[in-house]
A = this chain, B = another copy of it.
């Protein structure tokens, strides 16, 4: 198993909640589960700690990082900034074919909204946001976005929406597509910022923070 694969596997376990926030990570157990020795696992844990997914306690091992409300707010703020930047850049660089692709996904998303199929709706939603990032053509941006959004993904794409809020989100997405079609970078960045700000308020209101000092759950 390659180094990047180990990192990926453990990262997935953290993001999926298979290792719950705040849980201690006993090296021996994880080694056994992944069928590797401690050396490559420890390398992966250090990388994940640098990403903010793992918290290292000197001489006391590592735990899955826990997101506070403040962390969530900070991550959403940065995400806003990155999406706004991506929106501007995307309008300069996106091709007609790519816009058409986004339009198609958008149409599908609207249909799922009509069916009130939240799961499919979120799937299209995420595809659209990622397409805008990709269209910016900036791998540094893509990398940071991936790392930031991964940490808030569950909150972002699981939080249920009120009918009122959902309708507004769809409306905002209409504006997003429109700005993209008109290649209105400034407009798009404003809409994206507002869109994310609303999402953040929603998530924070739902109380998605991961701050329960109890629940000393171990990684099964």
Which positions in A face B, CB cutoff 8 Å? 2-3, 7, 39, 42-44, 46-47, 50-52, 56, 58, 71, 74-75, 77-78, 80-82, 84-85, 89, 138-141, 143-144, 148
Give the nearest-CB partner of A80 in chain B: B85
List 4 other contacts, CB 8 Å, given A81-B141, A84-B85: A7-B50, A46-B46, A74-B139, A78-B85
A56 neighbours in B (Cβ, 8 Å): 3
Copies in the complex: 2
A85 neighbours in B (Cβ, 8 Å): 77-78, 80-81, 84
Can you list 29 residue pairs at the A/B interface with Cβ under 8 Å? A2-B58, A3-B46, A3-B56, A7-B50, A44-B46, A47-B47, A50-B50, A50-B51, A52-B140, A71-B140, A74-B138, A74-B139, A74-B141, A75-B140, A77-B89, A77-B138, A78-B82, A78-B85, A78-B138, A78-B140, A78-B144, A81-B81, A81-B84, A81-B85, A84-B84, A84-B85, A140-B148, A144-B144, A144-B148
Majority SS at the chain A contact face? helix
